[in-house]
Structure 1
Amino acid sequence: MERSRIAVAGASGLIGSALVRSLTADGHEVVRLVRHEPRSKSEVRWDPEGGRVDAAGLAGCDAVVNLAGAGVGDRRWTDAYKARIRSSRVLGTTALAEAVAAMDEKPRVFVNGSAMGYYGETGDRIVDEDSPAGSGFLPELCVEWEGAAAPARAAGVRTAFVRTGLVVARGGGAWGKLFPLFQAGLGARLGDGRQYWSYVSLHDEVAAIRHILDTDGLAGPFNVTAPTPLTNREITAAMGRVLHRPTLFAVPAPVLRAVLGEMAGDVLGSARVVPKRLLESGFTFAFPDIESAIRAA
């Protein structure tokens, strides 16, 4: 992509901040959507849960990327927090999609966040973008989240969804919590460890988003996960090897359910997700296996 003006919602999050660093390093002008009063021309005011965005601030943007949303793993899933998770994604996406659709000079592409949680519990079954949505809170959320982008798509804007896996990074997300435990020698498999985890390095996550932004014709859902999902038992062993720490423990499923509540189902659930469409589009993973992804982090 030639040097462009690109709007990013969720620019302060793990993925968003890494994407902004990558874009600015290559000379792109990044406009951050913020909740506070803008402090510079590079910020645009929005209220995702209130469904409002300063559409005038998006003028001249060649692309809009929406990665905003309350953290799924940040706290226990009370009814109130589940409502916040939903509203921060669905209402924010609706506001951005409607703003994009109403622009006289529309962006070339709208990339919206999503998650591999779309597929729900898959067991040992391999799933790709042709597989149907699962059932439960996260799959239903992802379906509604992606559906909220309909106004942009209906207005003729190329619209893509990034169904992200577990991001291997030190700075946040699930792995941000795992690294300190493993470094302290407290790394453990979760439950029986047979559940599949579909992971992706932070580097490849950002590279995949940029690949979708840059490649004309790429629209619809894209699983952003490494090509070979592994079980939690295999990933636990790999963490131990790379960090040179023992992995002797296991956290029983009942303990996880007692501590995490409904969210334990996501930790203990199996998601064997592969990036079929991303690979078909010519994307190459820099860190396709778990040990290289852990080292990169």
Structure 2
Amino acid sequence: MRILLTGGTGLIGQALCQQWQAQGHELWVWSRTPQQVPQLCPGAKGVATLEELNGNAPFDAVINLAGAPIANQRWTDSRRQLLWRSRVDLTRRLVDWMGQQASVPPILISGSATGWYGDGGQQPLSEDSAPSHKDFGSQLCVAWEQEAEQAHQWGVRVVLLRTAPVLANNAGILARLLPSFKLGLGARLGDGQQWMPWIHIEDQVALIDYLLHNQSCEGPYNACAPQPVRNAEFTRILAQELGKPALFHAPAWVLRLALGEMSVLLLGGQRLIPQRAQQAGFSWRHPELSEALRDVLNKA
């Protein structure tokens, strides 16, 4: 297959490139730094603009994973604008470009996040649940998906991937947590009762590949393991796998003071199940947190 990726130099994109390159697919990455693509995504070709692709052979699929990191900085006005441009505006440009092609790519898999649901409290959530619209993260994901869905007008099969925090070796959520946990300073967040969806990087890649090749798969899919845990349980299991104590907690008021509205990413949660992936017949390699963490940590 001939595949175009955005966000190909990120955590998920690099893992996808590695698998698909080994399978013999032809990969192109639209990137702000195309000169880095050959190093980060061996075998892929980088382009700085979509126009560079005009007149080339048609693509069999477009995978849209681009987006500036959402949890690296407070959500100031300027940061919100950057997050919006890198997701919503970029997706609009991508979909418009797809519609201008003589042969429109037949499938678009477009990234989103479990933050689409906002803080779901203790309520079980599936793809049939409604978004909260209450916080910026939820509003961002809703607008992001709406832009991707515009590709329907071109006859494109659109898959929306609501991705949970990804467990990977020295990357993603663990890159932020491991330094303190390895020092025995791991802490639950707030009261620790908020639910945490999660997914192993291998299952994330496998799910995208599965959705790509199954023509009946369309619409939103929760990219998460079938067994969410509360933050206190995640903290305990991670510390246990590292052989360290986890005796501390970060009070909710401190996190709200330090992070502002962005604190919803830590204090809110989603009791999420991957209902549609289960119904589609997808099988997880790492469905349980303790085994998933052990596998990732052993690769460090």
Q: TM-score, normalised by structure 2?
A: 0.92
Which residue of structure 2 lines up, in the alignment, with residue 83 of structure 1?
81
Per-residue CA distance 1:49-108 (angstroms, 9 max, x = gap): xxx654517642111101000100111111110111011100110111111122111222
Write the distance in 1 (CA, Å) between the matches of 2:110 and 2:286.
Answer: 23
Whether 1:237 and 2:240 are equivalent positions in the alignment is no
d(CA) in 1 for partners of 2:84, 2:56:
24
Match of 2:158 in 1: 159
Aligned residue in 2 for 1:49: none
* Cα offsets for 1:217-248 (capped at 9, x unmatched): 21110000110111000111110111111111
- Report which stretch shifted further, 54-63 or 11-20: 54-63
The DSSP-based 3-state class of the residue aligned with 1:206 is helix
In structure 2, distance between residues paired with 1:274 and 1:133: 15
RMSD over aligned Cα, in angstroms? 1.7
- C-alpha contact (below 8 Å) 2:106/2:155 kept by paired residues: no
Aligned to 1:293: 292
Structure 1 residues 24-173: aligned runs within 5 Å: 24-36=21-33, 42-46=45-49, 54-56=52-54, 59-135=57-133, 136-173=135-172
2:187 match: 188
Contact 1:73 1:173 in 2 (8 A): no
3-state SS in 1 of match to 2:220? strand
Contact kept? 1:59, 1:103, Cα under 8 Å: no
Gapped runs of 5+ residues in structure 2? 39-43
State the alpha-carbon separation in 2 of the partners of residues 58 and 86 from structure 1: 30
SS in structure 2 of the partner of residue 146 of structure 1: helix
Contact 2:164 2:224 in 1 (8 A): yes
Task: State the alpha-carbon separation in 1 of the partners of residues 56 and 9 from structure 2.
Answer: 18
SS at match of 1:235: helix
TM-score by structure 1 length?
A: 0.93
Question: How far apart, in 2, do the equivalents of 1:176 and 1:268 lie?
Answer: 19
Which amino acid in the other structure matches residue 111 of structure 1? I
- 2:15 paired residue number: 18
Instruction: Quote the Cα distance in structure 2 between the aligned partners of 1:286 and 1:57.
Output: 40
Instruction: Structure 1: state its 5+ residue gaps.
Output: 47-51
Asked if the contact 1:114–1:146 (Cα under 8 Å) also holds between the matched residues in 2, the reply is yes
Residue in 2 aligned with 1:7? 4
For the Cα contact (< 8 Å) 1:62–1:108, is it kept in 2?
yes
Query: Would the alpha carbon gap of residues 58 and 17 (structure 1) be closer, same or farther in structure 2, given more than 3 Å must change?
Result: farther
Q: Distance in 2 between matches of 1:234 and 1:188?
A: 11
Q: Distance in 1 between matches of 2:257 and 2:131?
A: 27
Cα gap change, 1:210 to 1:69, in 2 (>3 Å): same
Aligned 8 A contact 1:191 1:252 in 2: yes
Q: Supply the distance in 2 between the matched residues of 1:121 and 1:12 (Cα, whole angstroms).
A: 29
Instruction: Give the CA deviation at 1:15.
Output: 1.0
Bigger drift between 136-145 and 168-177 goes to 168-177
CA distance in 1, matches of 2:20, 2:181: 32
Question: Is the contact made by 2:3 and 2:27 (CA closer than 8 Å) also made in structure 1?
Answer: yes
- In structure 2, distance between residues paired with 1:296 and 1:58: 41
The alpha-carbon deviation at position 186 of structure 1 amounts to 1.1
| Structure 1 residue 275 displacement after superposition | 0.3
Q: Distance in 2 between matches of 1:77 and 1:218?
A: 34
Contact 1:170 1:179 in 2 (8 A): no
- Structure 2: which amino acid aligns with 1:294? L
Q: What secondary structure does 1:149 align onto?
A: helix
Given that residues 53 and 96 in structure 1 are in contact (C-alpha distance below 8 angstroms), is that contact kept between their aligned partners in structure 2?
Answer: no
Aligned twin of 2:41 = none
**Length, aligned pairs only:** 289
Matched, 1:225 2:228: no
Q: Do the aligned residues in 2 keep the contact of 1:193 with 1:232 (CA within 8 Å)? A: yes
1:171 and 1:62 mapped to 2: Cα distance?
32
Q: 1:159 to 1:58 in 2, by over 3 A?
A: farther
2:83 is aligned with what amino acid?
A: I
1:57 to 1:223, Cα distance in 2 relative to 1, 3 A = farther
